[in-house]
Structure 1
Amino acid sequence: MDKIYSVNGPVVKVADTKSFAMQEMVYVGKKRLIGEVIRVQSDFTTIQVYEGTTGLMPGEPVTSTGAPMSATLGPGIINNIFDGIERPLKKLEEVSGAFITDGADVSSLDTEKKYPVTMTVKTGDKLSAGDIYCTCPETPLITHKCMLSPLSKGGEVIWTAENGDYTINDVVAKIKAPNGAVEELTLCQKWPIRTSRPCKNRLPITKPLVTGQRIVDTILPVAKGGTAAIPGGFGTGKTMTQHQLAKWCDADIIVYIGCGERGNEMTQVLEEFSELIDPKTQRPLTDRTVLIANTSNMPVAAREASIYTGITLAEYYRDMGYHIAIMADSTSRWAEALREISGRLEEMPAEEGFPAYLPSRISEFYERAGYVETLGGKEGSVTIIGAVSPQGSDFSEPVTQNTKRFVRCFWALDKSLAYARHYPAINWNTSYSEYTEDLADYYNKNVNENFMKVRQEISNILVEENTLMEIVKLMGTDVLPDDQKLLIETARAVRVGFLQQNAYHKDDTYVPLDKQYRMMKLITDFYVLAKKALSQGVNVDKIIGCGWIEKLIKVKYDIPNDKIELFDEYEKNMKADMEALTGGAGA
């Protein structure tokens, strides 16, 4: 029997053994703690343990499972709260109370609950990997589609169960492989969390993830199947921005990974999510949400695994043809877990003590996003939105810089904006999105043919304002010519009226794309008319004094989302007012 040689925090060594393979899941000690083999040498095998190792002693047994660290995939994932290694926290509380005991043995999914199963295949049908053989309603919003595992060789259906109620481990079909082997199909399957699930094709990214947040949808869009990072210091609103995106984005399913966050913050997230009502269906948001909670006081190795658990669950639902959005909060805490384990393994540290393989681990995670054609021939996507918590708001630190290399959308949160109560506190000057060109056709076809043109005009106003503000800080606005004073006032309407959004206002918390376009167009039309008035000799103070800047700022509240036609009246009145100013100048 293999026995523990040494214990160093979550890192355990076994001497003189050839029983274990790399990345194999093992049980460690008398409590049978869950662990994973992370290094195999001729004299020592090194294991990282995903539970607390307090009280673990040399000489205790280590047992092989012969399988990699895997997630159980089946009905019961949605509307559940898991820890970093897919153990349900509600079930753990029943077994061990408010504090999780080490070695608590609970199944990932409820093995006793029965689901009303509808078979979608019959005897004689041929099945290959990714094909659906039965369905069942998982929640009122999500239908679970049981698929043949990508690991299966497929074959001919030789038996199916009747439609009815079954548990996840009941056999509902049998298939005969070409070599004659018979495979029994249940409602669940296992998949190694560190291996991405295969797909038939990766498709081009052409559709936006519509969030209803103006600065995201219009200025810095993220695509379905894309990647985005939200870096920001303490108190800049990373978690709240992710909450708003989770609540309103047009993904079918949300996977929220609380990775190493404070316990009280994670509790708040769990409570808020359970109370939120999905605005599209008027059902609880948890009916299409999976929560993975790994707080800062939980074992550090499980924090490292939580990211992989979350992305594996997301890929599983993607394979059913759903669009998934992952909120990872925060990848910096995950990187810190890598650093701690690397230190205990006595590996050579790289920048700021992080392991040399930090960039490759970050890229592995973000590369699992994508818009794909599944093995079953459906379209699905996984969009990853990861929060980054750079210490002291220093964006030059390794996690932020390496994340920036592998994501195509960078929403940099600004402390000064957050402290000025400008939310979302995304700094439009230091942020960027590389999806703008990819999504141009979608916006022009589905919103308005001039959408990208008007968006560019708004962006130009913001860029020019940023340049002028350097002069304003030194000299004040009085030295500026009239056209530049006008630009600064118009930019204020863009910043306060368009980019700033009120999550507590019924019409401003979520704004449809057509209203976003009309708001932008109203601002650019005003700017064109005002410049024309300036060229005809109207004083800039008169233009500012006519009150339209304030109207542009308040239009987000004054025009309800379901009465877009009111913009026509605004445009008509604005044109009349501007012409009146010009007429006065001519006289």
Structure 2
Amino acid sequence: MKDVVYSINGPVVTVRNSKTFSMQEMVYVGNKRLMGEVISVNKDKTTIQVYESTTGLMPGEPVYSTGQPISVTLGPGILKNIFDGVERPLEEIAKEADAFIPTGAHVDPLPTDKLWDVTMKVKVGDRVQGGDIYATIPETDLIEHRLMVPPYVKGTIKDVKADGQYKLEDTIVILTQDNGVDLELKLYQKWPIKKARPVNKRLPISMPLVTGQRVIDTLFPIAKGGTAAIPGGFGTGKTMTQHQLAKWCDADIIVYVGCGERGNEMTQVLEEFRELVDPKSNKPLVDRTVLIANTSNMPVAAREASIYTGVTLAEYYRDMGYHVAIMADSTSRWAEALREISGRLEEMPAEEGFPAYLPSRLSQFYERAGYMENLNGSKGSVSIIGAVSPQGGDFSEPVTQNTKRFVRTFWALDKALAYARHYFAINWNQSYSEYIPDLTRWYTKNVGSKFMQDRQELKTILAEETKLQEIVQLMGSDVLPDDQKLTMEVARVVRVGYLQQNAFHPDDTYVPLEKQLDMMEVIVYLNKKCQEVVAEGKPVRELIETGIFDDVVKMKYDVPNKDLSKFDEYYKKIDAACASID
């Protein structure tokens, strides 16, 4: 009996009395062959969520089984590309169909007619297993693509082609598996998006993902292989924060997933990334970037797929031995898609209408991050930085609270800071990083033994200021004794001179860790010398009048990243200012 559409409810389609389909199988729905996934099976009906618009679909149209889960094609051509949530190349579709994706569009994810320069890494008779590299391809000027034997495969090389130019579908290696069956290895492999790629073992977190952004690297660092959330209300700078991290963090490859974001924001991302120059290599940044665009006007079900597609691509490059950072913007839109599908399935809602399985879905996503030893013995990492968009900036809502359970770094964006043009608008009282104990040894060894000590001193100054602010708001700053007035003034230097950063200034958009340490040292020295002056009974007002606090604030602009010796002048200025007080 032919399987046909019985009912249609938005992206949710049902088929009656079918025993053809299995859970999480990819199917094609209707005469236009819309892509869908089986999400529920029982003896009476099969439920399918369709990743494309179901407008025009009618009951009675056929449903085709594929026998395979939803998978992505992994091979050369991923980098520099722009995909939708189910790995359809948007630029190729635009050539055929202009600005909007037509329903039922079937375009090869990767270019099948392009010739790639292939260098073989195996010879006849070699024993290989899953993860072993059998060929390499210069995918871009920055990244070497390493073709790997699919996981769970073991055998002996039977035939190898010579080095040369080959297309994606060309068989370049024939592998005789241990069961005697020959396997043809091409320039690509497929992998189901909802299944994590296997590794040898998960390694302990030990090194930071250096971003060059002071508030992150110093106060709330994220580790390579770590997870972070950026929650914030409308206009607080979630997307801009992720853009800056994508530009400057020391990951080898960036996967940017725009999940349910506004179309104009995604356009800005696409245009910006094309113009940006990678600071490490002076090549275009897009050479090591893959973009997944799933804008808010695209079918809602595809938002769920876009997150899994992005993390699967990230794991593939991790398996080659690269460090990958994935920016998911935003997981709240993804959760809203889950809520809409759940509502159409008439499932029992949990808090605020979200499905009861929201926490488990979030954990499945964030758990795919990690610092790993791969099947081929190389080491790589996937770091996940997810933006969260709580309605009205309310951090007590379910997506933010559940995300908090599964990430170890929390960068809480503050509307008041954002509106005061304090960039990044990361609130130092609400944010935290649980990676500090894991990273202390690395910072001590690679930056200096004083880095963590100075960091703690800055945090103490900011905590003191927070306490004093309550008194100031009630009674005014005049009631404070001079030592507390000094704390308020030094805290302003920390806030404006250290935590606030200018993304448009050539020396302040990215700050190396060495300069961050030198800046902290100057602020700590300023605090110490001024405390000595105040302890002698001299008024803090006279210290302020010397202008030393404003001078120290400007050091982030005045000291070039390539000439840190200029910090010596600030110690002299501080000594001179303190000595000038009678």
TM interval, shorter chain, is over 0.9
Alignment-derived partner of residue 229 in structure 2: 229
535-544 or 42-51, larger mean C-alpha shift: 535-544
342-351 or 560-569, larger mean C-alpha shift: 560-569
Contact 2:83/2:292 (8 A) holds in 1: yes
Q: How many Å apart are 1:168 and its aligned residue? A: 1.2
Counterparts of residues 180-195 of structure 1 (less than 5 Å): 180-195=180-195
Q: Does 1:404 align with 2:404?
A: yes
Q: Per the alignment, in what secondary structure is the counterpart of residue 561 of structure 2?
A: coil
Counterparts of residues 505-516 of structure 1 (less than 5 Å): 505-516=505-516
Alignment-derived partner of residue 92 in structure 1: 93
Counterparts of residues 46-57 of structure 1 (less than 5 Å): 46-57=47-58
2: CA distance between counterparts of 1:496 and 1:576? 23
Alignment-derived partner of residue 283 in structure 1: 283
Q: Does 1:42 align with 2:40?
A: no
Q: Per the alignment, in what secondary structure is the counterpart of residue 169 of structure 1?
A: coil
Q: Per the alignment, in what secondary structure is the counterpart of residue 156 of structure 2?
A: strand
Alignment-derived partner of residue 472 in structure 2: 472
Q: Does 1:321 align with 2:326?
A: no
Q: Per the alignment, in what secondary structure is the counterpart of residue 6 of structure 2?
A: strand
Contact 2:25/2:37 (8 A) holds in 1: yes
Q: Per the alignment, in what secondary structure is the counterpart of residue 46 of structure 2?
A: strand
Q: How many Å apart are 1:580 and its aligned residue? A: 4.4
1: CA distance between counterparts of 2:123 and 2:99? 47
2: CA distance between counterparts of 1:540 and 1:234? 40
Contact 1:78/1:289 (8 A) holds in 2: yes
Residue type of the partner of 1:329?
A: D
Instruction: Give the TM-score, by structure 1 length.
Output: 0.98
Residue type of the partner of 1:186?
A: K
Counterparts of residues 186-585 of structure 1 (less than 5 Å): 186-581=186-581, 584=582
Alignment-derived partner of residue 129 in structure 2: 128
555-564 or 266-275, larger mean C-alpha shift: 266-275
2: CA distance between counterparts of 1:134 and 1:575? 62
Q: Deviations over 1:18-46 (max 9, x none)?
A: 10110000111111111110000001001
Contact 1:503/1:509 (8 A) holds in 2: yes
Q: Per the alignment, in what secondary structure is the counterpart of residue 478 of structure 2?
A: coil
2: CA distance between counterparts of 1:101 and 1:505? 43
Contact 2:543/2:577 (8 A) holds in 1: no
Q: Does 1:75 align with 2:76?
A: yes
Residue type of the partner of 2:151?
A: P
Residue type of the partner of 1:291?
A: L
519-528 or 266-275, larger mean C-alpha shift: 266-275
2: CA distance between counterparts of 1:403 and 1:17? 38
Q: Per the alignment, in what secondary structure is the counterpart of residue 230 of structure 1?
A: strand
Residue type of the partner of 2:62?
A: P
2: CA distance between counterparts of 1:25 and 1:493? 57
2: CA distance between counterparts of 1:444 and 1:579? 33
2: CA distance between counterparts of 1:514 and 1:366? 31
Q: How many Å apart are 1:156 and its aligned residue? A: 0.7
2: CA distance between counterparts of 1:566 and 1:93? 52
Q: How many Å apart are 1:579 and its aligned residue? A: 3.7
1: CA distance between counterparts of 2:367 and 2:53? 31
Contact 1:95/1:104 (8 A) holds in 2: no
Alignment-derived partner of residue 30 in structure 1: 31
Instruction: Give the TM-score, by structure 2 length.
Output: 0.99
Q: Deviations over 1:376-424 (max 9, x none)?
A: 1011000000000111111111101111111000001111111110000
2: CA distance between counterparts of 1:264 and 1:453? 43
Q: Per the alignment, in what secondary structure is the counterpart of residue 261 of structure 1?
A: coil
Contact 2:552/2:570 (8 A) holds in 1: no
Contact 1:96/1:104 (8 A) holds in 2: no
Q: How many Å apart are 1:539 and its aligned residue? A: 1.6
Q: How many Å apart are 1:90 and its aligned residue? A: 0.7
Contact 1:209/1:224 (8 A) holds in 2: yes
Q: How many Å apart are 1:569 and its aligned residue? A: 2.8
Residue type of the partner of 1:188?
A: Y
2: CA distance between counterparts of 1:276 and 1:300? 31
1: CA distance between counterparts of 2:448 and 2:88? 47
Alignment-derived partner of residue 67 in structure 2: 66
1: CA distance between counterparts of 2:543 and 2:252? 47
1: CA distance between counterparts of 2:468 and 2:66? 65
Alignment-derived partner of residue 19 in structure 1: 20
2: CA distance between counterparts of 1:198 and 1:576? 61
Q: How many Å apart are 1:262 and its aligned residue? A: 1.1
Contact 2:548/2:573 (8 A) holds in 1: no
270-279 or 208-217, larger mean C-alpha shift: 270-279
1: CA distance between counterparts of 2:158 and 2:408? 47
Contact 2:451/2:517 (8 A) holds in 1: yes
2: CA distance between counterparts of 1:424 and 1:535? 35
2: CA distance between counterparts of 1:314 and 1:200? 17
Residue type of the partner of 2:44?
A: D
Unaligned runs of 5+ in 2: none
Q: How many Å apart are 1:80 and its aligned residue? A: 0.2
Contact 1:294/1:303 (8 A) holds in 2: yes
Unaligned runs of 5+ in 1: none
Residue type of the partner of 1:485?
A: K
1: CA distance between counterparts of 2:537 and 2:344? 73
Q: How many Å apart are 1:239 and its aligned residue? A: 0.6
1: CA distance between counterparts of 2:56 and 2:545? 74
Q: How many Å apart are 1:576 and its aligned residue? A: 4.0
Q: How many Å apart are 1:177 and its aligned residue? A: 1.2
Contact 1:120/1:132 (8 A) holds in 2: yes
Identity value in percent = 67
Q: Does 1:156 align with 2:156?
A: yes
Q: How many Å apart are 1:534 and its aligned residue? A: 1.4
Q: Deviations over 1:137-191 (max 9, x none)?
A: 111011000001114x211111111000011111110111122111110110000
Residue type of the partner of 1:537?
A: G
Residue type of the partner of 1:496?
A: V
Q: How many Å apart are 1:14 and its aligned residue? A: 0.6
2: CA distance between counterparts of 1:335 and 1:123? 50
2: CA distance between counterparts of 1:99 and 1:531? 64
Q: How many Å apart are 1:548 and its aligned residue? A: 1.3
Q: How many Å apart are 1:73 and its aligned residue? A: 0.3
Alignment-derived partner of residue 117 in structure 2: 116
Contact 1:253/1:324 (8 A) holds in 2: yes
Contact 2:390/2:400 (8 A) holds in 1: yes
Residue type of the partner of 1:384?
A: I
Q: How many Å apart are 1:231 and its aligned residue? A: 0.5
Q: Deviations over 1:531-575 (max 9, x none)?
A: 111112222112222221011100000111011111123223323
2: CA distance between counterparts of 1:415 and 1:557? 26
2: CA distance between counterparts of 1:464 and 1:211? 27
277-286 or 180-189, larger mean C-alpha shift: 277-286
Q: Per the alignment, in what secondary structure is the counterpart of residue 190 of structure 2?
A: strand
Residue type of the partner of 2:37?
A: E
Contact 1:258/1:329 (8 A) holds in 2: yes
2: CA distance between counterparts of 1:61 and 1:577? 83
Contact 2:71/2:192 (8 A) holds in 1: yes
1: CA distance between counterparts of 2:55 and 2:569? 70
Q: Deviations over 1:76-127 (max 9, x none)?
A: 0000000000000011112222211111111111111110000011111111
Q: Deviations over 1:455-491 (max 9, x none)?
A: 1000000000001000000111100001000000000
1: CA distance between counterparts of 2:76 and 2:68? 22
1: CA distance between counterparts of 2:21 and 2:476? 71
Contact 1:210/1:250 (8 A) holds in 2: yes
